[in-house]
Chain A
Amino acid sequence: MSRVDHAEASSKFIEAKDHADFHDKRLWDLRKKRDSESEAMPEWEQLRSLASAIKEHTLTHLADYLEEFEKNATANGMVVHWARDAGEHNQIVHGILEQHGATTLVKSKSMLTDECEMRPFLENRGIEIVETDLGERIQQLDDEPPSHIVVPAVHKLRGDVAEVFSRTIGTDAGNTDVHYLAESQRRHTRPYYLKAQAGMTGANFAIAETGSFVVCTNEGNADLGANLPPLHIASIGIEKLLPKVEHLGVFVRMLSRSALGSPITQITSHFRAPRPGTEMHVVLVDNGRSERLGMEDFWYSLKCIRCGACMNTCPVYRRSGGLSYGSTYSGPIGVIIDPTFNLRKYSSLPFASTLNGSCTSVCPVKINIHEQIYKWREIIAKRHQLPMVKKEAMRVAGKVLASPKLYRAAVEAAAAGLDHLPRFVVYNPFNAWGRQREVPSAPASTFRQWYVRNRGGER
């Protein structure tokens, strides 16, 4: 498997300036909406602490809660399956569909099924899959993975969507009106809900004490897919467990506020048992989660509720786009999860961060994201997986920073250099800091020069 080169991939993203600018603006807008919601709730920090503690408790008792969930879900009439990895998950889902003679599946958004690369697996076996979430459908029709876990097509502009839809579902190529495009998808998708033999959802939460699971959406697609066909399959990562119904109050209050800045998703559905005469199957998926649970520094990432707030606030994510991470999970949360799947493949991702800590401060379940990013860097550096340029730069920086004399000389030279060097020297391909931005002009004197002048020399 080849390594993801995040810097290289993002430079392509940045080349399309209109797209890059809009992407940055749109996600920052989501971040601001999140802020006004959280600031309006005096108990916000209390909720974050509770959510974090509930998740940590659940994860440290996870096996018991999984058994409790299974027992209650089974008693409610669901069928519970267990999948060790992506391959087994896909086989289980295929087996259920085959057993029911299902050839068309209407599916709502689920990062887990993306993680398992389920779609190509089923399509190769003759199953027609219709992604029903608008953003996910745009990505499916354009043969691209989602670029954001909440808004999958956020990197596309309306003209791109018009192009994809005119090519695939027969809309008017010249009509880029957003309402027209959304309405076209509504009309195109509706017949599938009526004829599909199976519906599939993910789950935001699974409740041990009731054996039920919760799906939070806005479009109505998940509930159409779950309430029309005679078969409902839900794929659920084992970390989605919560002990009790009362805990949902804490999480549902924060999920959509963190994600989109709305007080709740338009539709928050609780599935406890199949409709009479229909079947409901749950696939509990491990796929690396039980291993991650044993990683001392990294198990906290299992608290994640997939709200995307860390992505929206991250300056690197906003300016590089989700696809540049080369993984289902992008942005800060992706940076700390992806290396647990494949350290070599994703070794560049922990460097796609400024370590500003903003991700940590917006996280509704208090994952120490930026600290984990730093810890991944340590591991990658120890295992010699740093690219040559970075390694050499770090070696030189280490020497310079260790010697006050060298450091002063370097700072003064750099300040002088910035003002006097020709542009092509500062903005050369080896200086990453000179790409896509103007380097600020250096102050007239360094801090030390100012200090020596004003405070009378060294102590």
Chain B
Amino acid sequence: MNSRAQILARVRRNQPAWRALPEIPSFECPLADPWSAFTSALARMGGTVAVPPEGVALDAFIGTRFPQARVICSATPEVAGTRAISTVRHPAELDDVDVGVVRAVFGVAETGSVWLSEREFGVNALGFLSQHLVVLLDPRTVVPDLHHAYRHPGFREARYAVFMTGPSATADIEGVLVRGAQGIRTLTVIPVAAADAGSATEARRSS
């Protein structure tokens, strides 16, 4: 008998009497202001929400926030940066990226997380090899909590899907919090309405 058959046979033999699977309640928790809840949850996790001043284009705004950046690699058509993700052949080429730019599909108010998959990253390593990450997020996409978040169909479609919540961090030495462990050192969310969403024109004007 091979290992698979042996393990399954032993599990079947030893499984305790059947217990029922509970229903997951909907956990409805209507938030008065999901965006402000998202903003404060993100701040707790070390991330920042930054709003561009009136009339300042995204590229220029990102430039003012990261004046030292030489390589800005963008995976969203809304930002040009200095390198388009479409030119990257191998993930290791992203080793020199100072700032990566992506658009998240949605946000989670409870935790301050943004949801990204290989479609948004273009190359997944952009979210981890970059020194800093800028995430465009449509505030209207913010869901109240993780129960709502896990209803998103993306989990059944994406090869790789991730909740990113602030920068990489560690407290492995004496509990001292270090932000910028091995992945991104900072995470900045810029509220920008998505072009394909309902009131796109108005949203673009307000950004």
Contact = CB atoms under 8 A, between A and B. Distances in A.
Interface of A: 22, 26, 29-30, 43, 46, 49-50, 53-54, 56-63, 66-67, 76, 82-84, 88, 132-135, 138, 151-154, 156-158, 161, 178-179, 181-183, 185-186, 189-190, 193-194, 210, 212, 218-221, 223-224, 227-228, 238, 243, 245-250, 252-253, 260, 262-275, 284, 286, 290-291, 293-294, 296, 299
Residue in B6, B12, B118, B160 whose Cβ sees the most chain A Cβ within 10 Å: B160
Interface stretch (B53-61, B63-71, B162-170, B199-207): B162-170
B183 A267 contact: yes
A272 B168 contact: no
A158 B182 contact: no
B160 A67 contact: no
Contact of B160 (A158, A262, A263, A270): A270
B91 A227 contact: yes
A108 to B, nearest CB: 10
Q: Which of B6, B7, B158, B173 has the most CB of A within 10 A?
A: B173
B3 interface: yes
Nearest to B46: A266
A272 B159 contact: yes
Which bracket fits the contact residues of B? 35 or more
A245 B155 contact: yes
Contacts of A270: 155, 158, 160-162
13 contacts: A82-B2, A151-B172, A220-B184, A221-B182, A223-B124, A223-B128, A224-B125, A228-B129, A268-B165, A269-B161, A274-B159, A293-B11, A293-B15
B10 A266 contact: no
Interface stretch (B18-26, B75-83, B98-106): B18-26
Nearest to A243: B21
B31 interface: no
Contact of B21 (A57, A154, A267): A57
B163 A264 contact: yes
Given A53-B21, A189-B182, A249-B149, 11 more contacts: A22-B174, A88-B3, A178-B173, A183-B178, A186-B182, A219-B181, A219-B183, A238-B7, A272-B160, A275-B124, A291-B10
A216 B120 CA distance: 20
B171 interface: yes
Name the 8 nearest CB pairs between A and B, nearest first: A220-B183, A294-B14, A220-B168, A135-B172, A219-B181, A249-B147, A273-B159, A290-B10
Nearest to B13: A294
Nearest to A215: B162
Contacts of A245: 150, 155-156
Contact of B146 (A63, A132, A158, A253): A253
A218 B168 contact: yes
A207 to B, nearest CB: 8
B145 interface: yes
A53 B182 contact: no
B91 to A, nearest CB: 5
A151 B112 CA distance: 24
Contact of A60 (B17, B22, B124): B17
Nearest to B29: A43
A190 B125 CA distance: 13
A177 B16 CA distance: 52
A76 B7 CA distance: 23
Interface in B102-133: 110-113, 118, 124-125, 127-129
A134 B173 contact: yes
Interface string B18-61: 11111011010000000000000100111000000000000000
Contact of A271 (B20, B160, B163): B160
Interface centre among A158, A270, A291, by most chain B C-beta atoms within 10 angstroms, is: A270
Nearest to A284: B7
A67 B124 contact: no
A221 B158 CA distance: 21
A50 B150 CA distance: 16
Contact of B182 (A29, A83, A190): A190
